[in-house]
Structure 1
Amino acid sequence: MLSACSSQTQGQAARFGLVDGASDRAAHMESMWTGAWIAALIVGVFVWGLIIFAVVRFRRRSGDPEIPRQSRYHLPLEVLYTMVPFLIIGVLFFYTVRTQSSVLAKDTKPQHTINVVGQKWSWTFNYMEADNPAAGSVVTREAGTIEKIPDLYLPVNESVRFHLNSADVIHSFWVPAFYFKMDVIPGHPNQFDLTPTRVGVYDGKCAEFCGTYHANMLFKVHVVPVSEYNAHLQKLKAAGQTGEVKAPASVTTLAGSSPSQEGSEGK
Structure 2
Amino acid sequence: MKKWFIFLLVPFLSGCSLRTLNPISETGADQAFLINLSFGLMMFVVAVVCVLFILFTVKYRETEKNKTDIPKHEEGNRTLEIIWTTLPILLLIGLAIPTIIYTFQVSNTDASSEEALHVNVVGEQWRWTFQYENGKETHDKLVLPVDQEVVFHLNSTDVIHSFWVPRLVGKRDAIPGKENKLKVTPNEVGTYQGKCAEYCGILHADMRFVMEVVPEKEFEEWLAKEQ
Tell me, what secondary structure is at the counterpart of 2:128?
A: strand
Give yes or no for contact 1:113–1:161 (8 Å, CA) kept in 2: yes
* Percent identity of paired positions between Structure 1 and Structure 2: 35
Which of 38, 42, 45 aligns to 2:44? It is: 42
Structure-1 separation of matches of 2:63 and 2:157 = 70
User: Equivalences for 1:1-267 in 2 at 5 Å?
Assistant: 18-65=20-67, 69=71, 71=73, 73-76=75-78, 77-105=80-108, 106-129=111-134, 139-143=135-139, 150-235=140-225, 238-239=226-227
1:199-258 CA deviation, whole Å, 9 max, x = no partner? 0000001111111111111000000012221222233xx23xxxxxxxxxxxxxxxxxxx
Give yes or no for contact 1:28–1:103 (8 Å, CA) kept in 2: no
The unaligned stretches of length 5 or more in structure 2 are: 1-18
Alpha-carbon RMSD across the aligned residues, in angstroms, is 2.2
Amino acid paired to 1:103: V
Q: Which residue of 2 aligns with 1:248?
A: none
Structure-2 separation of matches of 1:73 and 1:171 = 58
Q: Which residue of 1 aligns with 2:11?
A: none
Tell me, what secondary structure is at the counterpart of 1:177?
A: coil
Give yes or no for contact 2:121–2:131 (8 Å, CA) kept in 1: yes
> Normalised by the size of structure 1, how large is the TM-score?
0.71
Counterparts in 2 of 1:110 and 1:166: CA distance versus 1, 3 Å: farther
Give yes or no for contact 1:200–1:222 (8 Å, CA) kept in 2: yes
Structure-2 separation of matches of 1:104 and 1:68 = 60
Tell me, what secondary structure is at the counterpart of 2:167?
A: helix
Amino acid paired to 2:137: R
Structure-2 separation of matches of 1:186 and 1:68 = 68
> Normalised by the size of structure 2, how large is the TM-score?
0.82
How many residue pairs align between the two structures? 207
Tell me, what secondary structure is at the counterpart of 1:64?
A: coil
Give yes or no for contact 1:28–1:102 (8 Å, CA) kept in 2: no
Structure-1 separation of matches of 2:72 and 2:177 = 61
Structure-1 separation of matches of 2:103 and 2:66 = 55
Find runs of 4+ consecutive structure 1 residues off by over 4 angstroms. 70-73
Structure-1 separation of matches of 2:222 and 2:161 = 26
The unaligned stretches of length 5 or more in structure 1 are: 1-16, 130-138, 144-149, 240-267
Q: Which residue of 2 aligns with 1:250?
A: none
Structure-2 separation of matches of 1:31 and 1:92 = 11
Q: Which residue of 1 aligns with 2:5?
A: none
Give yes or no for contact 1:110–1:161 (8 Å, CA) kept in 2: no
Shift of 1:177: 0.6
